[in-house]
Structure 1
Amino acid sequence: MAGHVAREALRARVRAMPWTVRLQLRALEAGVDATQRRDGTINRFLFSLLVDRQAPANPARPDALGVRSVDASTGVRARVYFSSAPTPAETEPSPRPVIVYFHGGGFTYFSAATRPYDALCRTICRETGAVVVSVSYRLAPEHRFPAAYDDGEAALRYLATTGLPAEVPVRADLARCFLAGDSAGANIAHHVAQRWTAAATPPPFRLAGLLLLAAYFGGVDRTESELALEGVAPIVNLRRSDFWWKAFLPEGADRNHPAAHVTGEAGPEAFPPAMVVVGGLDPLQDYGRQYAAMLRRKGREVRVVEFPEAVHAFYFFPVLPDTGKLVAEIKAFVETTAPEPIA
C-alpha cells in the first residue's frame, strides 16, 4: 500500500505540469516508440516526419534575441551561435567564452538543428554572451560507440587548432571553453572531457568547466529512482533506455560498459569544475548524484543543482519556470568559473 501511495504522489507531481507540456511529451514518446524497430534500428524518415522539426540557421541577420547562427564544419557538422554586438561596457566585441554543446536523444535521435535544441542554444548564447558550438555527432545504431565521443573530441581539437569557423565573425577565448550537454549529450561531454584531460600530450588549453544536464549514465543494477519512476515519469523508462544502450554500446556489451557506468571508483583524476543538473522527477537522478559524489571523492570541484519538480528534458519548455532558472544557473557558472592555469 505504501508503495502504491508513493507512486500516486509521483504521478500527481507529473500531472501538475501544464497540460500543453504533458501533451508535447506524450507526442515525443509516441514518436520515439513508433520509430524504434524490433531489430534495433530506427525509422529515421518516420521520426523526422512525426517529431524532429528542424529550425533553419540565420547567418545574415540576428533573431529576436540578437543571436545569429551558421551551419559549419568544426571537424564534424555543427551549428554555431553568436552575438556580435558589444556589451554595454565594450566599445567593440571582446573575445567570447565558448560552450561546446552536445544534444541529447539517447545517442540515437536529434541534431543541432532540432527546434528545441536550437531554441535552447540561442537562449544560452544570449544569456551567457558565449559562442555556442552545437555539435551534430554521428548517431547510433548506424554509428556505435565510440563514434559520438570521437566526433566530440574532433570538434574540440578543431577549435584548438583552427579556432572558430571562418563564417563566425567574433573572437573566441578558449581559456574559457566549457563542454555542455543534456542526457546522452551530457554523457558525451563527460567522456570528451575525460579524453581531453587524460591525453598523453598536454592539450592546447584546459577546459574551464563542464555542464551536465540530466546526464545519461547507467549500470546493470537498476537504481531506486529508475524503479520508483517506472511508468510514471515521461520520456525515460527502462524499455527505451535499454534500447538506447543496446543501440550505442558495442555488440554484446552490457550497461556496466565504461561508456555507461562512470560512477564507480574508477573516475577522472584531473577534471574541470562541473555543474550537475538533477531533476526530481527524472529516473536518471540517482546517476547524477552518484556522478557528483564520484567527482568529490576524486577531489574535484562539483556543484549539484536540483530541480525537485523537473522531469527529463524539462529544458525543452520555456513555459516551465525551472527552464529560466536553469539558464540563470548556467550563466552564473560560466561567469564565475575561472579556468585553471596550464602548468
Structure 2
Amino acid sequence: MGSLPSPQLVEDFLGVLKLYSDGSIYRSTDLVHPKIPLHDDASAVVWTDCLFHPDHNLHLRLYRPTSPPPAGQKLPILFYIHAGGFCFGSRTYPKSHNCCLRLSSALQAVVVSPDHRLAPEHRLPAALDDVYDSLKWLQVQAAQAAAGDDDDDDETTLSRGSGGGSEWLREMGDLDRVFVMGDSSGGNLAHHLAVRLGPGSAELAPVRVRGYVLLSPFFGGTVKTTSEEQRPCESFWNLDMYDRLWRLSLPAGATKDHPLANPFQSTTEIKRAALDPMLVVAGGGEILRDRAEEYASRLREYGKTVVYVEFQAQQHGFFTADCFSPEANTLIQTIQHFISLYSAPPIY
C-alpha cells in the first residue's frame, strides 16, 4: 500500500505563513512580530484583558488613563481595530499595544482593542463578524450599567492594574460617544462596520458610534491605481505581498473586486447608505494612497461627511511603526479635533 502524497504548498507569505493543499497551515510571527520595546508606563495608562467571545476564545484589551476625568464628565471610547492584512495581528502585538497606550494617554480616552479570528483558517467575513461582536459586548456592558448590575460573572478579566473592564467602562467611559478606528485591514473593517451599523448605530443602543477613523485602509481591486503602478514597492510592503494577503483572506475563489476588498464593487449600495462621519488618513508615499484618496472623494460625491488627510511622503503603517514620531503627534491632534467636532449628536 503506497504512502499518501505530501501536501503541496499553495500559498507562501514570506515564509511566515504557508497554506498547503490539504488545508493545513504553518504560521510563525518571527517577521511580523518584531522584538520592539513596549512603552508601557503604568503611571499614565493601565490596561486589562477581557473575554468577549467565549465560543472563539477571543479577548479584547481595554486601556484607560490613570488620571480621572473632571467631575461629572466621562471619557470618549475609541475602538481600535488592529492591522495585519486579516492574517496577522493581535491586541498583544507590541506595535498595537504601544499605539493603544499612546492613544489612551494623548486623547484621554478609554481604548478598546479587540482581537478577531485570522485568515486563512477563518476567511472573511469572520474578522468582520468578530469585531461586530466586540461592539455588541460593549452594548452588554452598557445595559448592565443602566440596570445598575455590578456582576462581572459573565466575563473573564485578566487585569494589569486596578479594576476590571466593565467597571472602567461604567465609571469612566462615555457609551454615547464611541469612535471606531481601524488601521490598514482594520480600516477596511471599520468601513464595513460603518455600512452595517448605519448612522447612529441604532442596533447598539444605548451605545452610540459617532464617527470612524480609517488609517491607511486596506482596500483592493483588480484594476490597478496609478500609485500601485508607479509605486509597487515601499521600504517593506510591495504589491505582491498585498495580493498574497488578499488570496489568503478573501472567500475561496474570490477576486480583489469582492465587496469585502473593493468597497465600490456595489456602488448603488454605497450611494444609498447613510454613514456617520469619517476621517480617512493616508501616507503620501504608500502604495495604497490612491485607493484611500478615491474612497474619500467618492464618498464625498455621494453626500457623505468625510475628512481626508494625507501625510506627505509617509508610508503604510507610519503611525504603528512609530507612534511617537512628529507625524504621529500631528495625527493624534487630527483625531482629537475629529472627536471634538463630532461628539455632539448629529441631526439626521
Fold shared per TM-score above 0.5: yes
Structure 1 partner of 2:256: 255
Structure 2, gaps ≥5 residues long: 1-11, 143-163
Q: Secondary structure at the match of 1:250?
A: coil
Give the length in aligned residue pairs. 304
Q: Structure 1 36/234 Cα, relative in aligned 2: closer, same or farther at 3 Å? A: farther
1:51-66 alignment to 2 at 5 Å?
51-53=33-35, 63-64=42-43, 66=44
Q: Given the alignment of the two structures, is residue 329 of structure 1 paired with residue 334 of structure 2, yes or no?
A: yes
Structure 1 partner of 2:26: 43
Structure 1 partner of 2:185: 184
76, 80, 84: which one pairs with 1:105? 84
Partner Cα separation in structure 2 for residue 275 and residue 42 of structure 1: 36
Partner Cα separation in structure 1 for residue 75 and residue 175 of structure 2: 8
1:208-246 per-position Cα deviation (integer Å, ceiling 9, x unaligned): 010000000011111111111113x13332211111111
Partner Cα separation in structure 2 for residue 70 and residue 182 of structure 1: 21
Shift of 1:83: 1.4
Partner Cα separation in structure 2 for residue 42 and residue 306 of structure 1: 37
Structure 2 partner of 1:68: 46
Q: Given the alignment of the two structures, is residue 80 of structure 1 paired with residue 81 of structure 2, yes or no?
A: no
What letter matches 2:78 in structure 1?
Answer: I
2:49·2:165 contact (CA, 8 Å) conserved in 1?
Answer: no
1:106·1:184 contact (CA, 8 Å) conserved in 2?
Answer: yes
Q: Structure 1 254/48 Cα, relative in aligned 2: closer, same or farther at 3 Å? A: same
Partner Cα separation in structure 2 for residue 100 and residue 184 of structure 1: 14
1:54·1:113 contact (CA, 8 Å) conserved in 2?
Answer: no
What letter matches 1:254 in structure 2?
Answer: T
Q: Given the alignment of the two structures, is residue 291 of structure 1 paired with residue 295 of structure 2, yes or no?
A: yes
1:318·1:324 contact (CA, 8 Å) conserved in 2?
Answer: yes
1:222-261 alignment to 2 at 5 Å?
222-231=224-233, 233-261=234-262
1:299-323 per-position Cα deviation (integer Å, ceiling 9, x unaligned): 1111111101100011121463212
Counting aligned pairs with the same residue, the percent is 32
1:95·1:171 contact (CA, 8 Å) conserved in 2?
Answer: yes
Structure 2 partner of 1:6: none
1:101-128 per-position Cα deviation (integer Å, ceiling 9, x unaligned): 1101111111011111111111111111
Shift of 1:200: 11
Q: Structure 1 309/50 Cα, relative in aligned 2: closer, same or farther at 3 Å? A: closer
Shift of 1:129: 1.3
Q: Given the alignment of the two structures, is residue 313 of structure 1 paired with residue 291 of structure 2, yes or no?
A: no
Structure 1 partner of 2:152: none
Structure 1 partner of 2:124: 145
Shift of 1:203: 3.9
1:55·1:114 contact (CA, 8 Å) conserved in 2?
Answer: no
Q: Structure 1 55/143 Cα, relative in aligned 2: closer, same or farther at 3 Å? A: farther
Q: Secondary structure at the match of 2:187?
A: helix
What letter matches 2:48 in structure 1?
Answer: V
What letter matches 2:242 in structure 1?
Answer: S
TM-score (norm 2): 0.79
What letter matches 1:183 in structure 2?
Answer: S
User: Greater strand share, 1 or 2?
Assistant: 2
Q: Secondary structure at the match of 2:166?
A: coil
Shift of 1:206: 3.6
Q: Secondary structure at the match of 2:292?
A: helix
Q: Secondary structure at the match of 2:255?
A: coil
What letter matches 2:116 in structure 1?
Answer: Y
TM-score (norm 1): 0.80
Structure 2 partner of 1:172: 173
